[in-house]
Structure 1
Amino acid sequence: MTATLERRLAELTDGAQVSSLTGIQRGLEKESLRINSAGKLAQTPHPVELGAALTHPYITTDYSEALLEFITPVSTSISATLETLETIHRYTYAHIDDELLWGASMPCILEGDASIPVADYGTSNVGTMKTVYRLGLGHRYGRLMQTIAGIHYNFSMPDAYWADAQRADDNSEPLQDYISNRYLGLIRNFQRHSWLLIYLFGASPAVCKSFLRGNAEHNLEAFDEQGKSMHLPWATSLRMGDLGYQSNAQRDLEVCYNNLHKYIDDLCNAITRNHPAYETIGVGTPEARKQLNTGLLQIENEFYSSIRPKRVAASGETSLGALRRGGIEYIEVRCIDVNPYCSVGIDAAQIRFLDIFLLYCLLEDSPACEAPERQLQAENIRRVVNRGREPGLLLQTNAGDTSLQDLAKQLLTDMQSIATSLDQAHQSSDYSATLTDQRGKVVDSTKTPSAMLLEEMKERELPFFRLAMSYSENWAKAFRSNPLEAEAAEVFAKAARDSLARQTEIEATDSVDFNTYVQNYYEQYKTLAKS
């Protein structure tokens, strides 16, 4: 433990500040493919009973009409967050007939890009923009990649924490600048150590062969004689590797997390400068747009990163504009696989460890990160994604190669004081217990979800698809056997009705044509780039 971590933790657990440990704010965004009873991607539209994906506060879609995204409101309670997520699942199951929610990150049986319907958000300008953005992703990267599901974990410290922390750090800059810089420090440390999360919680070591349709450039091995499943024997999270949300075009994109203005400028430049390969695709015609622009990025969301700085944007405002206006409000962790062994894809123990991990990243020293270190970090992620459980695996550090086990043990040791402090604040032993569980996974990699999945596929002689389908069916049965009471169901039914009415209202109030709307939207990036 460094002196900075020790001091900041002592201040955080002293007197009135301890309430900040029980006031951590969290939210989950969990994606799930809708599939039919045969295990193929659903071709049905987003159910009207689930409301308008454009405006519903809890139930929307991501890339595809068949890729649902469930959103929990901000909460300081882990149990309440998980209860809300379970309630959304139960409500959804009451309105998708005989369809199921796929319970894994890597997708079900796919039949090529044509079988993946792009999400429809209605006829408004904002809805059309969301759809055209997704069409652009399909043209740029193919639609298959967009069917991969994950869980996003939103994290922020309570407002009351920051003023005291700034005084303790003897910092005199404007408070919001201090907050943004501390969150950027968290992000830099996260990128240094996120390989540990992928090792501990990665749950996508195999994939259905249909996902590789037309892709001969992979290093996966057949898991079974029939070749129905492809895998890597020591893999942890193929979702986070070359098969997942990766972009060759973005590999040379340097995005700086040392300074918020530089971060915004880097992404604005990537959005506003043309990229030759995407110029070849073109934007299409006004009646049939192919993509929003020909930049390296259409919008900032296209930048694939395992963590993002965030602020809630105003209506019509870009995410980068919100950050420039008000600074960082929270961070979004994006490297979490859906765990097939959990009914909602994540459990309380994992959330507690995420809190420990993110607090460690926030409280610890976080020096600036330059290109050589970013390359080192990317290499470590690649190794852990593909070979994370390989005995004796070495990771790169500034001091030379070190075994994953030794690095993981040291990190978990350094986090013990944070777990202890969280336990004291919550009057429990749950945080220390989850830290002990993670130590067990480091000592014995067979306890990791990725190892457990491959072992179960082997023992039950099931390809990846069949095993994931089995768990999806089991969770569907559990949710359907425990429907919501009428009062709770009506809350969601009303939210659905209100969202449909709101979409209709938005569609009726558009005052310019779509091309003008897009042009005006992109003027914001040009203004940001100049400011």
Structure 2
Amino acid sequence: MKSFSQLVEHLSDAQGRTALLGISRGIEREALRIDPHGMLAQDPHPRALGSALTHSRITTDYSEALLEFITPVHADIDELLEGLTETHAFSVRNLNGQWLWPVSMPCYVGDEKDIPIAQYGSSNIGRMKTLYRKGLTLRYGALMQIISGVHFNFSVSHELWQRLYELSDKKRPLAQFISESYFGLIRNYRRLVWVLPYLFGASPALCGSFIKEQNSSFNFSSMGKGTLYLPYATSLRMSDLGYTNKEQENLNISYNSLDAYLAGVSQATHMPSVSFAQIGVKVDGEYRQLNANVLQIENEFYSPIRAKRVTRAGEKPSEALARAGVEYIEVRALDVNPFSPVGIEASQVRFLDLFLLYCLLSDSPPSNAEEENEMTANLKAVVSEGRKPGLELQRGGLAIGREAWLNELFGELKPLALLLDGDDNDYQVALETWFAAIADPDLTLSGRVLQEIKARNCDHGKWVMDLAHEYHRLLSDYPLSDEVIAGYRAEALASLASQSALEAEHSESFDDFLADYFGSHR
């Protein structure tokens, strides 16, 4: 196996550079709808935005108030972000006076019962999506489900796979080589995932209403009327306050191969849970959750990265992976960037390109229990105190300073940035931008958030509301051509028609639909 630097050198010809640059990317950005007083929207998903069940670019996540904007796949970063911005701009024009909440941690929530679960209509698939969310509510509470994030989808070109395959031993078919290589990327990503909350974590503070009666182990500092924060935190969204499932901690799903991963996911979706069984599945004729297993469905498994393949109609994610292997990976460790109207900006995308290519092209041995514990401990340390001076992490059983490790990583990434840039310097500028945050943690997103709040001497919520107002104005004024507007309106109408058609179909009972979906394992 060639080293990362050797592979970069091997790919440094014109064809290699073209193969490396052939990255396909997609972004999914979540954002809560709020009223001008900063309260969670209570009304249904705006009809002008189409059907959340069938629209390809505008949908909802857990809550009726939690919008999710999805880009098509793009090879060009500027086109990717322009498309995401256009979707935001069209949407804010149709929010009936509401705004988008521009950070990960939720706005003020008085009572969890005021968080409306997403509704997808009367078709069986729509009812299943809503029931799944009802199950999440009863299992974990509604509050953690309205935390917003940004997901980054990433795949490399067929040309790059061909070059890498030619350098391999060719002992297995290309498709298998690709899946194994993506799992190698995933293992290395998990070894280094702490880098992302360090640089891009943007939730060091939150509204005190989020804690409520939770028994938090964090020793929060406070400011203003109700802001809680940790002085060195990077991403409270990624901490135990965020989306966690204690039942999942003992699953030990392996990323050492596609087969091992699929076996682990299958086991988790068929493993009965004593505590979830106490909720009941169908009580007095009404469903409370899809089933009483540790995972109702595969999507309930929380991971900061996922192996993915586009599914066919009616196909589960694991069935798609088993059918044809890994097609792309989904990065799920990104907070919403509050300094961008669309939650992410170009220098982050370019850093992610470099970071993920590094994870792909570096040697990636199988992980073991000891290393898994290290990964977990490192991530936990960085999300809660990542900017702490002198912070030490663990690597291979030895202590290493956060700054020293980051300096090593950025040193490795520099030749790759040079290669990708060619005659321009976009990747080098992005790398230099985030390199500055190694020695000066105040330049990380979380550092900037705390500085802003303290400089303004205001509550976190007031600062976020000011941003929400500013971004609403910017996006409302963003120039959209008549053709673009007509395209969004047409897709909204087509999605509503698709949902109506699904609901008009003569179909089996909901009981039979669920039985068919879960097969003999239900």
TM range (shorter): over 0.9
Tell me, what secondary structure is at the counterpart of 2:278? helix
Alignment of 1:224-263 (within 5 A): 224=223, 226=225, 228-263=226-261
The Cα of 1:171 is off from its aligned counterpart by 2.0
Q: Which residue of 2 aligns with 1:284?
A: 282
SS state at 2:250 partner: coil
C-alpha contact 1:91 1:483 (8 A) present in aligned 2 = no
1:439 is displaced (CA, Å) by 1.4
Label 1:105 to 1:203 Cα distance change in 2 as closer, same or farther (>3 A): same
**Cα distance, 1:378 vs. partner?**
0.4
Name which of 303, 312, 324 aligns with 1:305: 303
- 5+ residue gaps, structure 2, are none
What secondary structure is seen at the aligned counterpart in 1 of 2:178? helix
- Mean Cα displacement is larger for which, 57-66 or 472-481? 472-481
Q: Deviation per CA, 1:86-125, whole angstroms, max 9, x where unpaired?
A: 0001100111111000000011111222010000011111
Taking the aligned partners of 2:218 and 2:44, their CA distance within structure 1 comes to 35
The separation in 2 between residues aligned to 1:318 and 1:392, in whole angstroms, is 45
Q: Is residue 462 from structure 1 mapped to residue 461 from structure 2 by the alignment? A: no
State how many pairs are aligned.
522
Q: Is the 8 A contact 2:224 2:458 kept in 1?
A: no
Partner residue, 1:219: 218
The residue number in structure 2 matching 1:76 is 75
- Whole-Å Cα distance in 1 between the matches of residues 90 and 374 of structure 2? 45
Distance between the aligned counterparts of 2:432 and 2:163, measured in 1? 31
1:316 aligns with 2:314: yes
Alignment of 1:495 onto 2:494: no
Counterpart residue number, 1:366: 364
Query: Structure 1 vs Structure 2: percent identity of aligned residues?
Result: 42
Letter of the structure 1 residue corresponding to residue 359 of structure 2: C
| Equivalence map 1:113-132=2 (5 Å) | 113-132=112-131
Note if contact 1:270-1:297 (Cα within 8 Å) is conserved in structure 2.
yes
Contact 1:27–1:154 at 8 Å: present in 2 too? yes
Q: 1:429 is matched with which residue?
A: 425
Which residues of 2 match residues 277-426 of structure 1 at below 5 A? Answer: 277-285=275-283, 287-424=285-422
- CA shift, 1:364, in A, is 0.3
Q: Which residue matches 2:23?
A: 24
Q: Please tell me whether the aligned partners of residues 20 and 160 of structure 2 are also in contact (alpha carbons under 8 angstroms).
A: no
Residue 318 (structure 1) shift = 0.5
Q: Which amino acid aligns with 2:150?
A: I
For 2:47, the equivalent position in structure 1 comes to: 48
Letter in 1 for 2:242: G
Residues 110-169 of structure 1 show CA distances to partners (whole Å, capped at 9, x for unaligned) of 122201000001111111111111111111110000010000000001122212211111
Give the CA deviation at 1:486: 2.1
The residue type paired with residue 64 of structure 2 is E
RMSD between aligned residues: 1.4
Q: Which amino acid in 1 is paired with 2:450?
A: L
> What TM-score does the superposition give when structure 2 sets the normalisation length?
0.98
Cα separation, 2, equivalents of 1:408 and 1:15:
29
Aligned to 2:438: 442
Structure 1 gaps of 5+ residues are 527-531
Tell me if structure 1 keeps the 8 A contact 2:5–2:412.
no
Q: Is the 8 A contact 1:94 1:483 kept in 2?
A: no
1:2-13 pair list within 5 angstroms: 3-13=2-12
Q: Which moved more, 1:320-329 or 1:394-403?
A: 394-403
Q: Within the alignment, does 1:509 sit opposite 2:508 as a pair?
A: no
Matching residue of 2:151: 152
Report how far residue 10 of structure 1 moved. 2.6
Who is 1:529 aligned against? none
Aligned counterpart, 1:452 = 448
- TM-score, scaled to structure 1: 0.96
Q: Given residue 511 of structure 1, which amino acid in structure 2 is its aligned partner?
A: S
Give distance in 2, aligned partners of 1:328 and 1:525.
25
Q: Which amino acid aligns with 2:425?
A: S
**Superposition deviation, residue 11 in structure 1:** 3.1
- Give the superposition deviation at 1:3: 4.4
Match of 2:265 in 1: 267
Aligned mates of 2:159, 2:331 — CA distance in 1: 23
